[in-house]
Amino acid sequence: MKYLLLYNPASGRTNFKVHLPLIKKIFAKTSHTLEIYQSKAAKDLEKVAFEKAQDFDVFLVAGGDGTLNEVVNGLMKSKIKPAIGVLPSGTANDTAAILGINKNIRRSLKIYFKEQPVIMDVNQINDQYFLYTAASGILTRVSYDVSRRHIKKYGYIAYVIAAMKDLTVDYRYPVHIKYDGKEVDCECVMVLGLSSNRVGGMTLYNFSSSKLNDGKFELRLFKRVKSFWRFRLLSSFIRGGKKLREDLHLVSNHFEIATYANVDWNADGEYSTSGSVIIRVLPNAIRIYASNKSKKKFF
Report pLDDT digits (tens) over 8-55.
887 655 678 899 999 999 999 999 999 999 999 888 999 999 999 999
Domain ranges of the chain: 2-115, 128-283
Sequence-distant (≥ 6) Cβ neighbours of residue 161 within 8 angstroms: 150, 154
Give the CATH number of domain 2-115: 3.40.50.10330
The whole-angstrom separation of Cα 248 and Cα 290 is 31
> pLDDT class for 145, splitting at 50, 70, 90?
low
pLDDT mean over 208-216? 91
Q: Distance between alpha carbon 280 and the CA centroid of its chain, in Å?
A: 15
Topology (CATH) of 128-283: Tumour Suppressor Smad4 (2.60.200)
Of the pLDDT bands very low, low, confident and very high (cuts 50, 70, 90), residue 151 is low
Q: How far apart are the first and last CA of the chain?
A: 25
User: CA 241, CA 59: separation in Å to the nearest integer?
Assistant: 33
Quick one: average pLDDT of 83-99? 91
Q: Collapsing DSSP states into helix, strand and coil, what is residue 276?
A: coil
Cα–Cα distance, 95 to 101 (Å, whole number): 9
As separate numbers, helices (DSSP H) first and strands (DSSP E) second, the chain gives 10, 17
pTM to 2 decimals? 0.91
Mean pLDDT of 240-257: 95
